[in-house]
Structures are given as structure tokens and as C-alpha cells.
Structure 1
Amino acid sequence: MISQKYSFILIFKALLFLFIFAPLFFSCNKFDGTQTIPAYIHIEKITLVDNPNINEGSLSNKITDAWVYVDDELIGAFQLPATFPVLKSGKHKISIHPGIKMNGMLGTRVEYEFYKNIDITDFNFVEDSIIKIDTLVTRTSYRDNLNLDWKEDFDDGTILFQKRTGSDTNIIQTIAPANLFEGTPTGIVNLDQNHTFFEIEPVGDNFVLPKNSSPVFLEMNYKTNNSFYVGLLVYSSSSQTIPSAKVSTIALYPSSEWKKIYINFTPDVSDYYNATSFKFFIGGYKDDGIQNAEILFDNIKMVYFKTSK
């Protein structure tokens, strides 16, 4: 279970990041040269659409920011919707990179490398004018070269999770109308006085994940009246059934609304460079003061780049 000390460290790092990099989210334009009157760009939103070349599952997303480059130079990262100045005129290349809140934290806004960039090669900048980029243009999709083989959307009767040793309950499918997400079934963990702890992991083979800081993320939607945690199980060559290490990555707290989160496993995977494989786990204890805990999940997916063979 993630300690209060660990949670405090996460919050402190997030606040420190926000203090240092907050100016980035207003603008990091360079007002150089002789031009003094900027053009203004408006981006309303970035929409995630289907990539017909892969099976990405649900298109649920939380794209919060646009990281904007002009002629391959970073202009700024802007919370959407956004209108921002750029000291350019005439035609230039503009590239919009979708951004997210990593681990759901305000101070860890990053470009999400698994979404395609939006490139406009001959964008016409007009001084002292607001140019709105059409929402039909600001569309992205998952990249082609991703491993998205493991997904759990709870839409059929097969559950791709099993409870771990010590867990006194498991995750099951729910079709109760109040528990649906995107109009489809979800997964639920119920905790009460007789079932106070759960911990689950994917069934089947372990994941062989890329290292050397190659991004590895777990995406999910969740809604809960009880806290829970997510972490990584590390396996060595000596055993593929008993983990050699167990790393708690993040603690998540009650939310009465469905949330989308992108959990970053990259540093944990890269730190264990001698590991041969991994699994993630989700667990939690019944919170004090909660009689009946309901922890709902949907669209859980592991995302990482395919490695060349």
C-alpha cells in the first residue's frame, strides 16, 4: 500500500514542477527579430479518432493540452481551449502535439507520445488576426507502431484479471445501469466488512516491456468511493511466477465521476534493467467510514511501442 510519505513526495514534486514550469503553459514564445505584432492562433480541442491500422479499443481520452511547434521550434504548451500569440507572418509549418496530465497530476503535463502529431505544412500566419484551426484538422489517433495487445473493456463475460494471494475478493463484470460507462458493462470490486482487501493482476503471460526510458503507460477509466493503488510486479530470470520486486506507482482517491488516467510505468520499468518481465497490479483496502466500497473500472490497456526483432 502506498504510504502517506510517498503521496506527500508526489504532491511536493508536482508543486515544484508547476512552480518551475508554469510559465510554459502561458507561453514560451520568443519575441525576436523585427516583427512586433503577432498573429494569434486558436485551438479549441484535440479529438481522438480511430486508427484503422490497429485495434486500440475505446477512444476514451483526456487530452488537456496542445504542445505547439512552429518550424520545429517549441512555441508553448497551452491548456485547451487556447488562444495564443505567435510572432510569425506568412506560411510556416505548425505541429500540434497532444498533451495529457501524466498520472492525473496538474504539475506533470507532458506530450503523449502514443498519439500522432498534427502537422500543417503551409499554415498562413496573419499579423494581428486570430486564426482558428478547424476542429476537423485537430484530430489525432494512436500511432501505428504500438503494442496494444492487452486490453480489458469488460464487454464480454471473460474477465482478464485474477486475484492475487491474500485478496479476499475479486473483480467482476457489472451491467447495473448506474455503473455503465460509454453505455457498456464495466468491472467492479466490492468491499465491505467481510471483504476488506483486494489485489488483482492480469491473467496469462507476463509483459516483456521495453526499457531505456521507452514510454510504458497503463490507461484506464475509473470511478470509486474508495481509494486504491496501482503498481508494478517485477520478475527476474529465476522465476516468472513469483515477483522479485513489487513497486507501488500511484494512489488514486474517490471520485463520483468517471475519470481517465494515464499511469506512467516508464521509470519503474527502466529502473529494473535486469528484469525479464513485468505485470501490473491494482489493489486497495476498504477505507474507514465506508460501509460498502464500489470501485469501478473500464477500458484498461497497456500501451508501449513495439520493439524491432
Structure 2
Amino acid sequence: MRLFLLFVLFIQLFLLNSCKKYKEADPSFFLKSKTISVTTNPLQGTSSNKITDLWVYTDGKFQGVYPVGNLIPISSKENGTKINVFAGIKNNGISDTRIFYPFFNFLTIDTFVAAGKTIERDFTFNYKNVTTFTWTENFDSGSAISVKKELDAVFEIVSGAESFENKSLKVTLFPDSGIAGRLQSSSDGFFLPTGTGDVFLELNYKCNTPVTIGLTDDVQRMPAITLNPQEVWNKTYIQLSTIVTLLNTSKNKVYFEFYQNPSGNAQSYLFLDNLKLLYIKP
């Protein structure tokens, strides 16, 4: 008898759950990015960027991360929707470490759009006022650049087809020269705060051999990342927070190091432009 009653109860619960009506999803409209850009003032350097994703919050709640150009579904509500959009990057150029870039202000869109509609718009970001640009170098000043040679390599300021914007730095290591080339910032060193994740180096570059980038105090070198060969100009964002803490000095210098091409019979080269060392105090 007990087993029979349990069986009947099970059947009733099954039927009740089967009869439940599921709430339909809210009607949605779609947001799609067109041009992605960054505006800067003369003290902030280039507007070049590599924003790859948009981090979207709707009415204060995180909705998701969307590659630039993809459709972003937004719930269509009678009283409108408040949308906050953050600029996303590949941290250290790695696809698996995507973050929203902490130095850009987010954009706010407060709008009502009918369900089913798609709106396309440009997104223009700018730097937060609390951002400190402790070092910028675009190589446009010719010989008065803030980078110096440490090991065998040939420096050349290039323009035209070889450059990225206006003028760029070309560093070449010839087969008959030393096995390694190194260059670093030529100042006495920069203060960079510890205890924060918001310390980055931005740069445009191309190279035909791996290039290691890090910080030094002229006694020890702390590598942050090794860039793979990149035959066309690329933009990357390198997070330096960990090695700033490890080096623990008030005189941080940025260095770049590369070696002869593995083939042994070709020039190894590195092109640099638009260096920015920036942070936000904790």
C-alpha cells in the first residue's frame, strides 16, 4: 500500500511539473558596433588601439562579453534600458586572458528601442582623468628619443612605408654582429606603484624574431612577456603589475631584448612606435 501511494504521488508531481507554463523571454532589440576608436589629447599620445571586445552591463547587471562587430541582444523594456559598455582587450596579447581595459572610461547608453530592431553605432572611448602617463615615446622627435642601445644593434628612425605613424624606431641585429640586441628607456627610471593591477605598457610593434619585454633597475631584469614574431604592425597591451612588485624599485626602466634570427643568415629586426607606460594609483 505504501509503495502504491508513493507511486501515485510521483505521478501527480510529474503531471503538475509538466503543466507548468514557462515565462517567455523578454523581447529584445540588438546593438551592433561600427567603428571603434579612442580619442586622446597631446599628452596621451596616439589614438591607436586594439579593442577586441565590448563588455556590456544592462541596468547595472553584467550581461556578457561580445566581440567587436557582433550583435548584442538587449532586453526591450517599456521604460527604457541603461547600457554601460566597457572596452575590452587581450591582456598581454593572449586570447584567453581578455579583460576590460581599466584606463578607458565606459560609455553609457540610456535608450528605448522597439523589440526586433537593430541599432548600429560608433563607439569612441577616452582615457580616465586619473590615468598617469609616466612615459610616452612616439619617435617623431628624431634623435632626441628616450630609448638607448644597451647591446649590439643598429638604431634607425624610419618614416614612410616602414613606419607606423609619422616616424618609428627600427632596431636591426645583423648576422655578423653580436648575438643579442637590447634597448631600454634612457631616463633615470620611473616610479610605478605596487599593489595594483593597473600598470601597463602600450606599444605598436613588428618583429621577425621573439622579443622579450620587461623592467630593469640596471641590476636585475624582470621579464614580463616574450612577443612572438609579427611581420605586420600590431598593437598590444602588456600588464606589468606583477614584475613591478617583484622588482620593488623607484627607478623602473623598460627594456626590450631580442636575439639573432634562428636561421643565422638573416637580419633580426624590431620596429617600435607609440610607447606608453601608464598606471592608476591604488
Would you say 1:224 and 2:198 are equivalent positions? no
TM-score (norm 1): 0.77
Would you say 1:193 and 2:169 are equivalent positions? no
1:152 to 137, 143, 152: 137
**Cα displacement string for residues 213-235 of structure 1 (whole angstroms, at most 9, x for unaligned residues):** 241111111112222110122x4
Equivalent in the alignment of 1:98: 87
Instruction: Please tell me whether the aligned partners of residues 173 and 185 of structure 1 are also in contact (alpha carbons under 8 angstroms).
Output: yes
Would you say 1:172 and 2:160 are equivalent positions? no
**Cα displacement string for residues 260-294 of structure 1 (whole angstroms, at most 9, x for unaligned residues):** 0001102222345x533322210111121151122
Instruction: Please tell me whether the aligned partners of residues 40 and 83 of structure 1 are also in contact (alpha carbons under 8 angstroms).
Output: no
Instruction: Please tell me whether the aligned partners of residues 76 and 112 of structure 2 are also in contact (alpha carbons under 8 angstroms).
Output: no
Would you say 1:115 and 2:104 are equivalent positions? yes
Deviation, structure 1 residue 125: 4.4
Aligned equivalents of 2:63 and 2:208: distance in 1? Answer: 40
Deviation, structure 1 residue 41: 2.2
Equivalent in the alignment of 1:55: 43
Aligned equivalents of 2:93 and 2:66: distance in 1? Answer: 17
Equivalent in the alignment of 1:85: 73
Aligned equivalents of 2:281 and 2:141: distance in 1? Answer: 27
Instruction: Please tell me whether the aligned partners of residues 206 and 277 of structure 1 are also in contact (alpha carbons under 8 angstroms).
Output: yes
**Cα displacement string for residues 183-233 of structure 1 (whole angstroms, at most 9, x for unaligned residues):** x11101111122231111111121111121241111111112222110122
Aligned equivalents of 1:42 and 1:249: distance in 2? Answer: 37
Question: Runs of at least 4 residues of structure 1 off by over 4 A?
Answer: none
**Cα displacement string for residues 22-81 of structure 1 (whole angstroms, at most 9, x for unaligned residues):** xxxxxxxxxxx94514313222245333344x6111111101100000111110000010
C-alpha distance 252-49 of structure 1, shift in aligned 2 (>3 A): closer
Question: Structure 2 unaligned runs (5+)?
Answer: 1-21
Instruction: Please tell me whether the aligned partners of residues 38 and 85 of structure 1 are also in contact (alpha carbons under 8 angstroms).
Output: no
2:147 partner letter: F
Aligned equivalents of 1:253 and 1:47: distance in 2? Answer: 26
**If each structure's strand is expressed as a fraction of its own residues, which one has the higher value?**
2
Would you say 1:126 and 2:109 are equivalent positions? no
2:149 to 163, 167, 173: 163
Aligned equivalents of 2:40 and 2:231: distance in 1? Answer: 31
Identical-pair percentage: 28
Give the 5 Å matches for 1:1-309. Answer: 34-45=23-34, 47-52=36-41, 55-90=43-78, 91-120=80-109, 122-127=110-115, 129-135=116-122, 138-157=123-142, 158-164=144-150, 167-175=151-159, 177-182=160-165, 184-195=166-177, 196-233=179-216, 235=217, 242-243=218-219, 245-272=220-247, 274-289=248-263, 290-305=265-280
Deviation, structure 1 residue 99: 0.4
Instruction: Please tell me whether the aligned partners of residues 197 and 239 of structure 2 are also in contact (alpha carbons under 8 angstroms).
Output: no
1:154 partner letter: F
Aligned equivalents of 1:162 and 1:63: distance in 2? Answer: 30
C-alpha distance 270-40 of structure 1, shift in aligned 2 (>3 A): farther
**Cα displacement string for residues 89-136 of structure 1 (whole angstroms, at most 9, x for unaligned residues):** 23121100000111111111110011110012x321433x1331421x
Instruction: Please tell me whether the aligned partners of residues 34 and 121 of structure 2 are also in contact (alpha carbons under 8 angstroms).
Output: no
C-alpha distance 46-68 of structure 1, shift in aligned 2 (>3 A): farther
TM-score (norm 2): 0.84
SS at match of 1:269: helix
Instruction: Please tell me whether the aligned partners of residues 42 and 81 of structure 1 are also in contact (alpha carbons under 8 angstroms).
Output: no
Quick check: 258-267 or 224-233, which moved more?
224-233
The structure with the larger Rg is: 2
Q: Alpha carbon RMSD of aligned pairs, Å? A: 2.1
C-alpha distance 118-200 of structure 1, shift in aligned 2 (>3 A): same
SS at match of 2:237: strand
1:185 partner letter: K
Question: Structure 1 unaligned runs (5+)?
Answer: 1-32, 236-241
